[in-house]
Structure 1
């Protein structure tokens, strides 16, 4: 319901009576109402004070920013409400208003230890102003009809969704889009658009939390577009009952599931048999891997099943005869990651990328080096008394979660908290995710297991109470804030002891040449032939006589060895279902899954794989690139943080420049140019800038698409070159007749000539008929792109057959734009009276050799 600042003031003036709303549209006001409804039920208690005070400061600062003057709020005194000292401790100025009330004014916060701007630290994050450029692009009708979305959220999302449908079957698409740009829709769209049975998307996510969050969002989309559809499970996790698991497997095999969100561990164990059956039946159409950069990680983050996904894909492609597409999605691809993924999910010439990378303008970055862990706690508690809600406090180890939760509750007085890590039980995860979405939790204390891909838009504060494992991880976690396009806070408080984990991870345990070669020999000696020529089955738990074995440790290191060899081009991996235990449900941990359930098979790509010197030289380059990237990541983190060179007050490198260096890809095949943006950091805190003033990245469409024959054109108009044809209509004829003929011709082009792109003016009277937006129903795969006709000369080349429509009042220069477009097939429909560009004395129709008349064409195609 609608509930604003003035209504809040009215209810506070009548405390404790009044009709407090059950739900407010505004997130901050909704939280305030929840706290005060609970407080009213416990009159005289004060445990809720510390939760309320930052929220009231938040709403006051936002209202003051909107009004352009200091706003005041009248609150009760006594009855369990905070006293004057407590209000002031939370950054609020207090005036007595009689014996039973205070007048509160929110004060700017100027901590000496952080520095800051004149209006105070974190000030921008209390504003309601958007700092992200919200340039929306009209959604193609085939997408809007399936999702109810009128617009794409960004140009990058627009081209990525299109590419997901256009790339040939069997190809891989790398989707490189910033957080908040609608990346999830790219992987969801195929399941929404293709409603028929036998069209399955397997959507792999790194955490159960993300699987559950994606399921929640997808169920809502399904309900909005098909109210009769039952709510069967869309996420696979250990919390499902045996009956639910059996039902999902049944749906996978009979073609009614459409989409399933799952972890790589489940996909390589309990789901592998059913998914393999779906692939064999030709029903697996998309394999989507979200946060795909994790496939290339080593060290403590190494997850055998994640790294095995490339081999599993290879197997499924063989079973399905190449009928599915692979989407690899992330907001944080580095150069080394792109190269590795392309080699693992290739062949390279069948890998394409959609990239539209700009840094996030929302976060404002603050860093502080504490002298001790005790000072770190004081600074974090002080910051949380003054920071906007909701917030996430990130740590790196599970025992740190317990510690910080205790600190925030006992010393900070906060109650509306939850804790989250990789070991949080499924039932608890569900509760936390739902309460987080419903604003019933104001803060989460978590490891990186929380938040990856979770699309809560209004997170205002992200605090790191330690140095994250890598700069890449840091930026991913910062990206949880400000997804609504408004300013957010990023605060990192650390001490010298926090460097130990990043330094250890900068030297990931890849594998030594000698031990790696020994492991490979043991696995190769365990080989057995398969029914497919050249494909060898190996024992993933094989043990060399010099090595300890028969354990999860051994399986993990054997998997590391195989991945390293695959990256070096010595082998290709293949993961097959273990049919002996089909449909069993082992514990889906990230350890010995492959040994428990799957058969690992390899295909030798280099006959010198058993020669030590050749083995070493082949893997040296791959290992070296990984180690170099890890060390580079650490050094950039050191450059970013203050005090890394010895001086406590030394200011680190500018954040935007550092992240631009991290995410730029200098590859000739997949170049990524990062649009540099910084919401403010110690290096440029006082530079006045418009944070919405940054260039929209140029998005290059995919160049490999499934070609469609135009035999119908050759049959009907064999004398006309379809690469560029003028089709003239007589604008003197009744508009209804012209529109009918144009629609009839457009339908024929889409249905019979493989046209997959149509362009017109957004205000064209020729295209206002409903039939225009329904043309996609006649297209191959029901995919038809709609583009504006103007500005086409700025479009990168796209190998799609196209029809463009010009209006009677179109400028002659628009014809020149049409001529500059490169398309394999292009029909330009334009008025008979349009003048030749550069010569207003002649009609274009009188001097155009490759031209047709609309009325003649209609007679030909309707014969």
Structure 2
């Protein structure tokens, strides 16, 4: 099929040019080549399968990790004019799910989580369809979450085979060489049969900074001082749901900013409401756990603050990449106090079962349930892993997570260029003439001595962040569903 992609981009989607990597990836897909695409946050990954589906008229199956992300993408596709789009999520009640499954052949774009695809009834219905493109969105989750958190990610290779080995597109914003190989292996693909399009993770318009604080009290006060003065919308990330809520209350009362919390413990409607408030400019700051951000297409976020230490550099780069998507200056701040490392170590211990618990459950398999705490162990037991094999899997996961945490702490204490330290993790380098020493990291300038000046100079609010409210219903819709890409 001969397609003029540039012409189609303009006529079908209204864009004058592709972003880096997009056209090459689409050419691969139209040449029926399985493709692994590593595009930076804001690089326009969603357009790839939207455009392929629109031009090929084939059915597209998208595996996505979060309900909020699926709902957001379904809304965007509907806004762009596609009515044949649906998300199979746990938010559906029994009757809604039954109706959708009965009429599944009427949809062109079908979203589902790995857990939903593990449901025999759902997979049976999808198998009856002709899937033209199988998409794994946020594909790094296969490697990062599969072994010890969401094991159904490890079944996606079998799902792909069950669907007749359709053309496959794997997408994420960050992935090391090891993670890329993990993705390919778990989808039962051969490296030689996968085209890899890997763009640099460097975002030169994001200034990198970190501050080591003496304790919790100093950290809290620093956060209040920053929020009082930093310009523009921002996201503050926490490892704790309760701390996110507590901080939102504190910042709302002690600053003039409009702040709300967002985390996975909230119900779907509440999360969606907060997300739309933020997108529409009716909220200035969201205090969030990592549940917030995937798929958020708000281009004028000016800063991302990490109140707690992220689990790894890969997650950190993904999360700070949510600011400055309009290519204007953005600011990444990591606040650290020594106890933060132990919080992450506790999270690792609580996530990965120890040998004694594993041994007890293997000896008493009736105690295994689908509850969160035992779900992962049950997966390995049901799939025929011996006790020693399961122990080896979890030991490896623990070692990997501790190694990733060590790299994250090393970044905080690094006394050289922070950008170099981040890029080294992804086997990337920058030459000196590729750097802008005036806008790189707090190693090059005295950021913490003059951060207010930096704020006034670089973090300028876009017009839509100031006191602007759309008037016509067209503008209201555009504000609610910002056109992706």
Q: What is the distance in 1 between the residues matched to 2:95 and 2:277?
A: 27
Deviation at 1:405, TM superposition (A): 1.3
Give yes or no for contact 2:61–2:110 (8 Å, CA) kept in 1: yes
Is the alpha carbon distance of 1:182 and 1:285 closer, same or farther for their aligned partners in structure 2, counting shifts above 3 Å? Answer: same
Give yes or no for contact 2:228–2:256 (8 Å, CA) kept in 1: no
The Cα offsets for residues 87-134 of structure 1, whole Å up to 9 and x where unpaired, read as xxxxxxxxxxxxxxxxxxxxxxxxxxxxxxxxxxxxxxxxxxxxxxxx
Q: What does residue 264 of structure 1 align with? A: 114
TM-score w.r.t. structure 1 length? Answer: 0.46
Match among 261, 264, 279 for residue 419 of structure 1: 261
Give yes or no for contact 2:417–2:441 (8 Å, CA) kept in 1: yes
Match among 362, 369, 380 for residue 223 of structure 2: 380
Deviation at 1:298, TM superposition (A): 5.1
Give yes or no for contact 1:298–1:509 (8 Å, CA) kept in 2: no
Deviation at 1:203, TM superposition (A): 1.3
Matched, 1:157 2:4: no
Structure label with greater radius of gyration: 1
Matched, 1:652 2:410: no
Q: What does residue 69 of structure 2 align with? A: 210
Matched, 1:248 2:88: no
| Number of residue pairs matched by the alignment | 436
Give yes or no for contact 1:548–1:554 (8 Å, CA) kept in 2: no
Please state whether the residue corresponding to 2:61 is helix, strand or coil.
Answer: strand
Q: What does residue 476 of structure 1 align with? A: 318
Deviation at 1:187, TM superposition (A): 2.7
Is the alpha carbon distance of 1:512 and 1:424 closer, same or farther for their aligned partners in structure 2, counting shifts above 3 Å? Answer: closer
Q: What is the distance in 2 between the residues matched to 1:447 and 1:492?
A: 15
CA RMSD, 1 decimal: 3.3
Please state whether the residue corresponding to 1:367 is helix, strand or coil.
Answer: strand
Q: What is the distance in 1 between the residues matched to 2:337 and 2:426?
A: 27
Match among 167, 185, 200 for residue 325 of structure 1: 167
Q: What is the distance in 1 between the residues matched to 2:151 and 2:167?
A: 23
Is the alpha carbon distance of 1:515 and 1:499 closer, same or farther for their aligned partners in structure 2, counting shifts above 3 Å? Answer: closer
Deviation at 1:471, TM superposition (A): 1.9
More helix by share: 2
Q: What is the distance in 2 between the residues matched to 1:466 and 1:357?
A: 26
Deviation at 1:220, TM superposition (A): 2.5
Is the alpha carbon distance of 1:145 and 1:249 closer, same or farther for their aligned partners in structure 2, counting shifts above 3 Å? Answer: farther
Q: What is the distance in 2 between the residues matched to 1:445 and 1:392?
A: 6
The Cα offsets for residues 751-784 of structure 1, whole Å up to 9 and x where unpaired, read as xxxxxxxxxxxxxxxxxxxxxxxxxxxxxxxxxx
Q: What is the distance in 1 between the residues matched to 2:334 and 2:148?
A: 22
Question: Which aligned pairs between 1:186-585 and structure 2 lie closer than 5 A?
Answer: 186-195=48-57, 199-221=58-80, 223=81, 231=83, 234-240=86-92, 244-252=96-104, 254=105, 256-269=106-119, 273-281=121-129, 283-297=130-144, 302-317=149-164, 322=165, 324-348=166-190, 349-414=192-257, 416-504=258-346, 544-545=362-363, 549-552=367-370, 553-559=373-379, 561=380
Q: What is the distance in 1 between the residues matched to 2:153 and 2:307?
A: 28
Structure 1 runs, 4 residues or longer, greater than 4 Å off: 238-244, 298-301, 504-516, 622-629, 673-679
Question: Which aligned pairs between 1:584-595 and structure 2 lie closer than 5 A?
Answer: none
Please state whether the residue corresponding to 2:41 is helix, strand or coil.
Answer: coil
Q: What is the distance in 2 between the residues matched to 1:139 and 1:684?
A: 43
Please state whether the residue corresponding to 1:469 is helix, strand or coil.
Answer: coil
Please state whether the residue corresponding to 1:201 is helix, strand or coil.
Answer: strand
Q: What is the distance in 2 between the residues matched to 1:191 and 1:162?
A: 13
Structure number with higher relative contact order (C-alpha < 8 Å, ≥ 6 residues apart): 2
Deviation at 1:436, TM superposition (A): 1.9
The Cα offsets for residues 282-302 of structure 1, whole Å up to 9 and x where unpaired, read as x11222111111112259971
Please state whether the residue corresponding to 1:502 is helix, strand or coil.
Answer: helix
Deviation at 1:143, TM superposition (A): 4.3
Matched, 1:179 2:41: yes
Is the alpha carbon distance of 1:406 and 1:339 closer, same or farther for their aligned partners in structure 2, counting shifts above 3 Å? Answer: same
Q: What is the distance in 1 between the residues matched to 2:352 and 2:430?
A: 33
Give yes or no for contact 1:299–1:508 (8 Å, CA) kept in 2: no
Is the alpha carbon distance of 1:314 and 1:624 closer, same or farther for their aligned partners in structure 2, counting shifts above 3 Å? Answer: farther
The Cα offsets for residues 393-413 of structure 1, whole Å up to 9 and x where unpaired, read as 110111111211121122224
Q: What is the distance in 2 between the residues matched to 1:680 and 1:405?
A: 29
Q: What is the distance in 1 between the residues matched to 2:45 and 2:15?
A: 14
Moved more, 334-343 or 483-492: 334-343
Deviation at 1:165, TM superposition (A): 2.5
Please state whether the residue corresponding to 2:299 is helix, strand or coil.
Answer: coil
Q: What does residue 633 of structure 1 align with? A: 404
The Cα offsets for residues 30-82 of structure 1, whole Å up to 9 and x where unpaired, read as xxxxxxxxxxxxxxxxxxxxxxxxxxxxxxxxxxxxxxxxxxxxxxxxxxxxx
Please state whether the residue corresponding to 2:88 is helix, strand or coil.
Answer: coil
Deviation at 1:633, TM superposition (A): 2.1
Unaligned 5+ segments in structure 2 are 448-485
Deviation at 1:232, TM superposition (A): 6.0
Unaligned 5+ segments in structure 1 are 1-137, 224-228, 520-542, 563-599, 603-608, 643-650, 665-672, 688-863
TM-score w.r.t. structure 2 length? Answer: 0.79
Is the alpha carbon distance of 1:493 and 1:684 closer, same or farther for their aligned partners in structure 2, counting shifts above 3 Å? Answer: same
